[in-house]
Amino acid sequence: MNTKVICNISNTRYDLIREVLTTVLDWKISEDENDDWDVMWTDIAILPEKLMKMKTYQRINHFPMMHMVSRKNFLADSLEKIRKLFPKDYSFFPKTYIFPLDKDNIKQYIQDHGREFMIVKPEMSCQGKGIFFTNHIEEINPSDKYVVQEYIKSPYLIDGLKFDLRIYVLVTSCQPLRVYVYDEGLAKFATHMYSKPDIGNITDMFMHLTNYAVNRGNVKFVNNKNLASDGVGHKRSLAYVYRYLQEQGHDVFALKMRIEDSILKTLCAVQPYLAQCYIGCQPKDYTRAMCFEVLGFDIILDDKLNPYIVEVNQSPSFATDSPLDREIKKGIVAGALRLSWVSRKNRMRHLKKMEDKQGIGFVGKITKEYRDKAVKHNSELRSFEEEGLLGKFKRICPTEGSQKYDKFINSALLISKNSVIDILPLSQSKNSSSQSKIPIKKSYTVLPSNIKSNVSVDILNNSLGQSSFHSISSKINNNNSSKTTRVVSNKSPLKSSLKVSLQKSNSISSVPGLFDQSPILKCSREVSYQKDDASSQSSKDFRIKMQLVPNILRKNLVKDTTLNRSSSQFMSFYDTSTTFPKGNY
């Protein structure tokens, strides 16, 4: 039997991935997407359907819903909302608006700040494409979608040049949150000497933008050709910048702590979306280890050395245009794969469980109790086993004292519950237009609730299996009444709909944890109806309402079973050690 980990690379264009697998990890490579595999490395963001179809021993290098942090408009929406609750804690993010949704606020901001220039970015762009500066909102095409951001006009300069820091961050679990920062990174420099923005230089992108894709087009661009000289050229090492700052008398350790703090707070703001999607797709995975992701955080320092997160890249480039690129990115890929907690032992354990059907599908209070214990056990076990595998990665969560971030996650959870947004990942929808959808604020229809109401609910037939969590469009026949109820209403396109006429019942809402696994079902629970007579509640009503429940959740709605605590089959999920076989990683 093959004892090597199998990694599928059928959807990656980077030669570096193949090199790491063969020369560093000694894993087996698969290039057919239909082959069986232990790990898949892909350049393409994944849909929830992909995670739902995976076996629990498999790993993939993306989380569904991660575009909540990598798409400029969704990142802005999440951070601006939580900043209202914690203004000082989230001051690391430049003030950002979504255009045209916040058109009036943008106009007011420009007026209040003496017509300062703001940076305008297409919400779906990358590599500096389509970016421009303005201090007149009339210059922005009202039919286009942008994020309009405060411009850091006094950045810290090295050699008179503006630069940003590319910090590589690894996320290996979203519930509980597990985050690492790589000790090395890149500093990307502009190629023209910096001056504060004015009408004469605001179109000089070689001065104001630090994107590598932009500046390599300048004849003045110098590539680093010697790994030993990491402070030469317009792409330098993160270590060089830290050395330079240290020589200037700055507290580099304090700067690193502030950067790590900003990274964690950013991920806390989107954690509920990631967790709800993951658990909804894989409710029986107690390792929470099926997804991992390398993110590229772009950070600018101002002249007082305050770090600002300007954007997050979900699929940072692993092209190696220089020896410096190659050295740093090779270590990142190898380290991320080692920390993905993959092993052939996982596959053997999965096959053993499939042979024994007994003990599968427990629900109710006892299931939650053992599930929580299993998740906690696996998290602690993982922390213990990975100590020798960290390399240049530093775990920043969970750590001693990281509980202080719980308040941000809890607040983000409340925000997510009270938000109904259309989320369309980049290039994932077959029928998506070139322009993406911006977050849509929920609207309410005031309706009478003391009368019997028939409700026609348009809902995705398989909500967790679509490319996004679309909001529910609810239509209620209005009648006069003194009491009111609120209904979330939205005009999002639905791939498939199911119209169901129903009356109030506690049948679905009584299932423990069911609504906690799907934002769509949470939204549907907000719709309230007049309580009908008990006699009208029939099995037919329940069967109709069950059609609202995604298949992945519906199959768990079974009667409680008697738990045999001595059952090794039932407890097998608890023993999920994935100690790496010697020589196979």
Average pLDDT, the chain: 75
557 to 508, 510, 511: CA distances (angstroms) = 9, 11, 8
Decide if 19 is inside a domain: no
pLDDT at 350: 55
Q: Mark which of 353, 382, 407 sits at the end of a domain.
A: 407
Q: Do 211 and 314 belong together in one domain?
A: yes
Question: Which tokens in the block code for residue 79?
Answer: 């951070």
Note down the domain range covering 527: 444-554
Decide if 49 is inside a domain: no
Q: Do 495 and 381 belong together in one domain?
A: no
Decide if 102 is inside a domain: no
C-alpha 78/C-alpha 312 separation (Å) is: 13
Q: Mark which of 356, 378, 407 sits at the end of a domain.
A: 407
Q: Do 453 and 367 belong together in one domain?
A: no
Decide if 263 is inside a domain: yes
CB 458 within 8 A of CB 489: no
Q: Do 320 and 205 belong together in one domain?
A: yes
- Percent of the chain surpassing pLDDT 90: 56
Model confidence pLDDT, tens digit, residues 338-370: 999 887 666 655 555 555 544 555 444 446 776
Decide if 118 is inside a domain: no
Q: Mark which of 407, 424, 457 sits at the end of a domain.
A: 407
Domain CATH code at residue 83:
3.30.470.20
Model confidence pLDDT, tens digit, residues 252-289: 999 999 999 999 999 999 999 999 999 999 998 888 99
Helix, strand and coil content of the chain, in percent to the nearest 5, comes to 35, 20, 50
Phi, psi of 63 (to 5 degrees): -105, 135
Decide if 142 is inside a domain: no
Q: Do 256 and 324 belong together in one domain?
A: yes
Q: Do 305 and 359 belong together in one domain?
A: yes
Decide if 8 is inside a domain: no
Q: Do 321 and 375 belong together in one domain?
A: yes
C-alpha 290/C-alpha 263 separation (Å) is: 22
Paired strand residues for 148: 97, 120
> Half-sphere exposure of residue 82, counting CA atoms within 13 Å on the CB side?
29
Q: Do 492 and 368 belong together in one domain?
A: no
Model confidence pLDDT, tens digit, residues 135-192: 999 999 999 999 999 999 999 999 999 999 999 999 999 999 999 999 999 999 999 9
Q: Do 463 and 402 belong together in one domain?
A: no
Query: Which range among 89-93, 452-456, 489-493 shows the weakest confidence by mean pLDDT?
Result: 452-456
Number of domains in the chain: 2
Model confidence pLDDT, tens digit, residues 42-81: 999 999 999 999 999 999 999 999 999 999 999 999 999 9
pLDDT at 157: 98
Q: Do 343 and 484 belong together in one domain?
A: no
> For the whole model, what pTM was predicted?
0.72
Query: Which range among 196-200, 285-289, 446-450 shows the weakest confidence by mean pLDDT?
Result: 446-450
Angle (CA) 38 43 44, round 5°: 95
171 to 65, 177, 182: CA distances (angstroms) = 13, 8, 11
pLDDT at 385: 78
Q: Do 72 and 218 belong together in one domain?
A: yes
Q: Do 385 and 499 belong together in one domain?
A: no
Decide if 34 is inside a domain: no
Sequence letter at residue 360: I
Comparing CA positions, the residue from 383, 291, 386, 332 lying closest to residue 182 is 332
The bridge status of strand 118-122 relative to strand 59-60 is unpaired
